[in-house]
Amino acid sequence: MNVLVINSGSSSLKYQLYDMKIESVLAKGRVERIGMETSILSHEAEGKPETREVSEILDHTTAIKKVLDMLTHREFGVLRTIEEVDAVGHRIVHGGESFRESVLVTEDVKLEIRRLFDLAPLHNPAHMMGITAVERNLPEVPQAVVFDTAFHQTMPPVSFMYAIPMVFYKKHKVRRYGFHGTSVDYVSRCASDFLGRPLSELKLVVCHIGNGASCTAVLHGKSHDTSMGMTPLEGLMMGTRSGDLDPAIVTFAINKEDLTLNEVNSMLNKHSGLLAVSGVSGDVREVVEAMNNGSENAKLAFEMYANRIRKYIGAYAASMNGIDALVFTAGVGENSALLRSEVCKGLTFLGLALDDKRNEERSDQARSISTADSRVDVLVVPTNEELLIARDTYRLVRETPHT
Ligand code: AMP
């Protein structure tokens, strides 16, 4: 069965085509600048030359049509006809409290995703455009939706409630939802396989440190607590996001600097984090380079960034009454030995000991970077959200008799 995985944004769309028999990626690519005259489709497939096409793609329906044309292209494609796309899986950022797991797309499911637009105004409407675009191009093909929030729906109220008047939860569903759930679910299972121990026995802290960053306490295979909140702004310091701060700073900034609500929102999401403190960049690589060249602000930014991760690991070790393994994943977590070492430096009180040599080694496989006698395993596990979306889609389509 061939499963097409789609991550649809408001002006871009990423795709991967999986052959589920062997779980391999047949082709992948992205469409950028949807809605413009100079949209770009970049495409690569196993054993074929990479290609890049500039054309007018005014909407998502045309974008999907272009992707399907490319997948069946004589020179660059991997399919003979579009009938060889058996199912489509979509990444959806917000599933609210309604979706605790992945589901096939039905009229009711679409209605519910629309109801959740308020909670993810930048993301969910763009995902819906992707679903509609696939319906128009492939009306007979079953579609599934996989939610970033679903994995965290196991959190107990003690983790997900905010200490504000109950009316905000009851009337507006203000609570912690958490994000990166698909990634955390995937790497937790990989960690369990790697350690040869069932998830039901493990206490893990998963640090998904990429452009967005979060820590999750995974207790016996289930999300127990996570650092992102009602939105992906809470928790760790990120490239351009502030993460945790005293909420009183918001009203203070509005009063003192005469900022509008939109300006404060933009300040906290786009002009804070590593970028604001270092004054250099929101990219860890550039911050480290500036730090090595003597920038005190870059050094402070990097240390704050690592310290925030360390504090969350400590907090989650306390809330689970212990930790068996610490797992690093995503762009920074998988690639920055310096960040991992900086974070682990202050965790020796947990009996955690990093093996400096193993930490420096590179691999695209799950691996341990702790010493043989460390009481806590430290792992680096490459994440693969697309594969998990493909697997869930494949399972749902096979389980449903009429498809
Ligand atoms: P992701 O959101 O998981 O795709 O992660 C993307 C981010 O990973 C980029 O913005 C970079 O900041 C970061 N990254 C990638 N490679 C490295 C590296 N070698 N060292 C530090 N950060 C990296």
Please indicate, yes or no, if residue 325 is contained in any of the structural domains.
yes
Tell me: do 355 and 225 sit in the same domain. yes
Please indicate, yes or no, if residue 248 is contained in any of the structural domains.
yes
For the chain, what is the domain count? 2
* pLDDT score, position 130: 98
What is the pTM assigned to this prediction? 0.94
* pLDDT score, position 122: 83
Residues 161-173, buried b or exposed e (16+ Cβ, 10 A)?
A: eeeeeeeeeeeee
Q: Whose Cα sits closest to atom 8 in ligand 1?
A: 331
Question: CA angle, corner 70, sides to 65 and 74, nearest 5?
Answer: 130
Residues spanned by the domain of 283: 194-385
Please indicate, yes or no, if residue 238 is contained in any of the structural domains.
yes
Round to whole Å and give the CA distance between 71 and 41: 12
Q: Are residues 391 and 138 in contact, defined by beta-carbon separation less than 8 angstroms?
A: no
Query: Which one of the listed residues 19, 59, 69, 148 is annotated catalytic?
Result: 148
Please indicate, yes or no, if residue 176 is contained in any of the structural domains.
no
Round to whole Å and give the CA distance between 371 and 355: 5
The finding on whether 331 has its CB within 6 A of some atom of ligand 1 is yes
Element (H, E) at 343: helix 337-345
Round to whole Å and give the CA distance between 351 and 344: 11
- Tokens in use for 176? 């912690």
Tell me: do 218 and 143 sit in the same domain. no
* pLDDT score, position 53: 96
Q: Helix 284-292 to helix 296-319 angle, to the nearest 10 degrees?
A: 130
Tell me: do 250 and 373 sit in the same domain. yes
Tell me: do 141 and 208 sit in the same domain. no
Q: At which residue do the structure tokens 């955690």 appear?
A: 352
Tell me: do 100 and 208 sit in the same domain. no
Please indicate, yes or no, if residue 341 is contained in any of the structural domains.
yes
Q: Whose Cα sits closest to atom 11 in ligand 1?
A: 283
Tell me: do 296 and 372 sit in the same domain. yes
Q: Which of the listed residues 186, 332, 343 should we mutate to test ligand 1's pocket, taking the one with most ligand atoms within 8 A of CB?
A: 332
* pLDDT score, position 273: 97
Please indicate, yes or no, if residue 315 is contained in any of the structural domains.
yes
Tell me: do 34 and 127 sit in the same domain. yes
Q: Can you count the helices (H) and strands (E) in the chain? A: 15, 14
DSSP 281-328: -SSHHHHHHHHHTT-HHHHHHHHHHHHHHHHHHHHHHHHTT--SEEEE
Strands (E) in 1-154, as ranges, are: 2-8, 13-19, 24-32, 36-45, 51-57, 87-92, 103-104, 143-147
Q: Which of the listed residues 274, 292, 335 should we mutate to test ligand 1's pocket, taking the one with most ligand atoms within 8 A of CB?
A: 335
Tell me: do 119 and 32 sit in the same domain. yes
Round to whole Å and give the CA distance between 397 and 4: 13
Q: Print pLDDT tens along the chain (403 aa).
A: 999 999 999 999 999 999 999 999 999 999 999 999 999 999 999 899 999 999 999 999 999 999 999 999 999 999 999 999 999 999 999 999 999 999 999 999 999 999 999 888 889 999 999 999 999 999 999 999 999 999 999 999 999 999 999 999 999 999 999 999 999 999 999 999 999 999 999 999 999 999 899 999 999 999 999 999 999 999 999 999 999 999 999 999 999 999 999 999 999 999 999 999 999 999 999 999 999 999 999 999 999 999 999 999 999 999 999 999 999 999 999 999 999 999 999 999 999 999 999 999 999 999 999 999 999 999 999 999 999 999 999 999 999 876 4
Tell me: do 354 and 217 sit in the same domain. yes
Please indicate, yes or no, if residue 138 is contained in any of the structural domains.
yes
Tell me: do 303 and 378 sit in the same domain. yes
For residue 211, give the ligand 1 atom closest to its CA: 2
* pLDDT score, position 402: 62
Burial class of residue 295 (count of CB atoms within 10 Å of its CB; 0-12, 13-18, 19+) = middle
Tell me: do 198 and 315 sit in the same domain. yes
Round to whole Å and give the CA distance between 28 and 6: 10
Tell me: do 201 and 143 sit in the same domain. no
Please indicate, yes or no, if residue 103 is contained in any of the structural domains.
yes
- Is 244 noted as a catalytic residue in this protein? no
* pLDDT score, position 263: 94
The finding on whether 282 has its CB within 6 A of some atom of ligand 1 is no
The finding on whether 332 has its CB within 6 A of some atom of ligand 1 is yes
Q: In Å, how far are 3, 387, 393 from 22, measured between CA atoms?
A: 12, 11, 15
Which CATH number covers residue 45?
Answer: 3.30.420.40
